[in-house]
């Protein structure tokens, strides 16, 4: 997700642009920034008291044990299949763990246990790795929910049977969630510079900004072709009552994975307004597939079906089990693209030398590879810390789920990776501004990033940021690599509509080749692989 540089030093200079601007509060770019600030200073004490009150009151969905505290663990079997998951579950129970969810697709289980659990399991026959997914304990495992845990829920209904179900509630959504995010008036699909930059703008926007077009406007796939394509937005939830998204979000393919279990109850995929900046997923979904109807905004792939998969949990974290659950859910429901505009908590970068972090990397890696084998292009944001992902760097926010103690800081090497953005085969996206130049905040790195796409400038107001949907029928102007990744996800949908028989690798290769063909070589141009990867996104034709 998009964040400002927490060090206070500001973003690094961008080639050819002179000194970098001072840091700006890009809080609109995602719940990650809010999550970091919640754990600062005296508010830590308040948060700890609040969590205690919530547990006592039953608002936090965990079963309270008799004076015990638990961590969540992912247990990886040597076999990445259902038999492996069964073996991992048996070993976890034998070690005193409570198995909450099995992931038979990849031979992994989620278990809750007290301290020392990982040490008991590591080295056991059939167990490949064990990792704690959090550092701050909870009173117990998640509470039982009817129907939770079923990865096939809703999958028996084929895409052709879905024609835009009536939304439960039928209104314009809730109160919008985060009062700190400034909304903007209905843009009426005007001045869509972000779409013009990649050749996808409605006529009015393209005419208004012809210098931005990287080539002729791409012909849109037929509506029925896009309707057959499903993309998944793994994020903070999506407000499917928003006018731009009512016809896009497919309830049969949507769910919550906010505690590592798939929960397909009606509305589970919607934002939790009690969690800061929960509107982020709605904004991302609008960029991907908002309806083109002359009102609001238009998505890159208007008409595509969206699987809304909420990952953001009640404590404001994207824990690794949530990501694994979301990836598997999306893959099993036929998603052709999976958007990941966030990074995994509690470790901003996961290092192979740490047994817990290595296990988390392996688990998410298995889920991402499973999704790719099932035909999905996995798309992820590069991050907004202005860091070279191929170099040593400071990590001043890990672990980020602590409620007490001083802020943590460490220095990590290039072997430490952002999840899921730096996994093999993942399309990792950097951000460019309205002029097509690297945004000052964007992470970068030769060989570490795949494509560049519109992310906007947080200093440029609504004209320089990316305007998209916000809960409650509203609109917001945000900037970040979160927005950039969403454009690529929409482009994958277009590619899949044009080439329905292509596998994920071929679809990703098409986007890379199309971007490279439109980018002139030379330093500080979009052929600069450190900031652009293959080049700036252009819609495939």
Q: Which residues are catalytic?
A: 235, 280, 482
Helix (H, G, I), strand (E, B) or coil at 203: helix
Burial class (CB in 10 A: 0-12, 13-18, 19+), 510: buried
Q: Are 88 and 107 in contact (CB under 8 A)?
A: yes
Q: What is the DSSP string of 63-132?
A: PPPSS--BEEEEEEESS-SHHHHHHHHHHHHHTT-EEEEEETTTTEEEEEE-TTHHHHHTT-TTEEEEEE
Following CA atoms 367, 141, 250, 536 in sequence, which dihedral angle do they give, to the nearest 10 degrees? -40
Question: What residues have CB less than 8 Å from 71, skipping those under 6 apart?
Answer: 112, 113, 114, 115, 117, 132, 133, 134, 135, 137, 138
Following CA atoms 251, 252, 258, 260 in sequence, which dihedral angle do they give, to the nearest 10 degrees? 180
CA–CA gap between residue 380 and residue 429 (Å, rounded): 6
**Among the listed residues 96, 91, 82, the one whose alpha carbon sits nearest the alpha carbon of residue 124:** 91
Q: Are 41 and 113 in contact (CB under 8 A)?
A: no
Helix (H, G, I), strand (E, B) or coil at 61: coil
Partners of 453 in the beta sheet? 431
């Amino acid at each position: 997700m998009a964040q400002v540089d927490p060090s206070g030093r500001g973003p690094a200079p961008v080639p050819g642009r002179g000194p970098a601007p001072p840091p700006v509060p890009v809080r609109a770019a995602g719940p990650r920034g809010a999550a970091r600030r919640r754990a600062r200073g005296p508010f830590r004490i308040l948060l700890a008291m609040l969590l205690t009150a919530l547990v006592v009151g039953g608002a936090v969905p965990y079963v309270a044990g008799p004076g015990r505290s638990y961590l969540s663990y992912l247990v990886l079997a040597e076999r990445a299949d259902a038999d492996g998951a069964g073996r991992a579950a048996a070993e976890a129970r034998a070690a005193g763990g409570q198995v909450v969810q099995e992931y038979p697709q990849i031979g992994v289980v989620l278990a809750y246990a007290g301290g020392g659990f990982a040490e008991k399991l590591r080295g056991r026959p059939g167990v490949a790795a064990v990792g704690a997914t959090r550092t701050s304990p909870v009173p117990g495992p998640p509470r039982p929910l009817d129907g939770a845990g079923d990865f096939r829920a809703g999958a028996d209904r084929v895409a052709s049977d879905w024609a835009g179900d009536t939304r439960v509630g039928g209104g314009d959504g809730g109160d919008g969630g985060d009062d700190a995010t400034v909304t903007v008036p209905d843009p009426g699909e005007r001045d869509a510079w972000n779409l013009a930059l990649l050749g996808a703008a409605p006529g009015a926007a393209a005419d208004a900004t012809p210098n931005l077009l990287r080539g002729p406007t791409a012909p849109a796939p037929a509506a029925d072709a896009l309707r057959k394509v499903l993309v998944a937005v793994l994020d903070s939830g999506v407000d499917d009552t928003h006018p731009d998204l009512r016809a896009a979000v497919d309830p049969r393919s949507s769910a919550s994975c906010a505690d590592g279990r798939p929960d397909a109850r009606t509305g589970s995929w919607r934002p939790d307004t009690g969690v800061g900046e929960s509107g982020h997923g709605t904004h991302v979904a609008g960029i991907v597939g908002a309806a083109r109807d002359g009102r609001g905004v238009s998505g890159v792939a208007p008409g595509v079906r969206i699987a809304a998969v909420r990952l953001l949990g009640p404590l404001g974290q994207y824990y690794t089990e949530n990501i694994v659950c979301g990836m598997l859910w999306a893959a099993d429901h036929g998603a052709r693209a999976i958007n990941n505009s966030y990074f995994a908590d509690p470790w901003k970068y996961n290092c192979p030398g740490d047994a817990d972090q290595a296990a988390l990397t392996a688990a998410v890696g298995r889920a991402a590879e499973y999704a790719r084998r099932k035909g999905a292009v996995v798309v992820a944001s590069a991050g907004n810390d202005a860091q070279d992902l191929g170099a040593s760097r400071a990590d001043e926010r890990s672990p980020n789920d602590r409620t007490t103690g001083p802020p943590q800081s460490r220095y990590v090497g290039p072997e430490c990776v952002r999840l899921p953005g730096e996994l093999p085969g993942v399309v990792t996206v950097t951000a460019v501004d309205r002029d097509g130049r690297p945004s000052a905040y964007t992470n970068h790195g030769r060989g570490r990033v795949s494509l560049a796409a519109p992310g906007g400038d947080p200093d440029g107001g609504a004209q320089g940021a990316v305007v998209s949907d916000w809960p409650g029928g509203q609109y917001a102007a945000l900037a970040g690599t979160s927005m950039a990744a969403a454009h690529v996800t929409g482009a994958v949908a277009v590619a899949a509509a044009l080439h329905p028989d292509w596998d994920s690798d071929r679809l990703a290769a098409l986007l890379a080749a199309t971007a490279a063909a439109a980018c002139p070589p030379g330093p500080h141009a979009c052929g600069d692989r450190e900031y652009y990867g293959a080049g700036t996104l252009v819609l495939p034709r």
